[in-house]
Structure 1
Amino acid sequence: MVVKYDGHACIVNSRLLHAMESRVKHLRGYHPDTGEMNQEAFFAFSNALTNSLSIPELIHNMQSAVDFQASRGIGCVHTVSGV
């Protein structure tokens, strides 16, 4: 899932779309043809992914991502403000 800069829409891949389809196909903002989710569908995807990880898992994954970026020479990572 890639979240739009303003935090109100996202693009999902086909694997995630298939896994969530029964939970979101009736919601406003569900666009399976493009993978773009907005309105209620976006928040359903966001909530499902947020609730799928524990806090320790989240921290571990964030640290792994930063370590990977550093191993590739990326020395600065900046969050998107407001998201």
Structure 2
Amino acid sequence: MEFESGANNGQWGYFITGNFIDETSWRDEAPSQVKQIFADFGWQALGTTLDLKVTAADTDLNGHGAAPIELLARDREAVFTFRDK
């Protein structure tokens, strides 16, 4: 899921965007999650500009290394070693 929004009236403005990814993976024991957001709030008047920017992320990424071909021949989703964060 992704979202974004923004507006500007000449004096005040904002922009915000973010995404959420929840991946269950095709391999066993390999779920991953990504949450990210970026926001920019601004004000401008009489030659002065003030901006506030915020960036945040929360990730939980899991993956696996190589697996012996004999294991994969038995089960393509099998994992030789896990959790590799």
Does the TM-score normalized on the shorter chain lie above 0.5?
A: no
TM-score, L = length of structure 2: 0.19
Higher strand content, 1 or 2: 2
TM-score by length of 1: 0.19
Q: Which has the higher helix share?
A: 1
Larger radius of gyration: 2
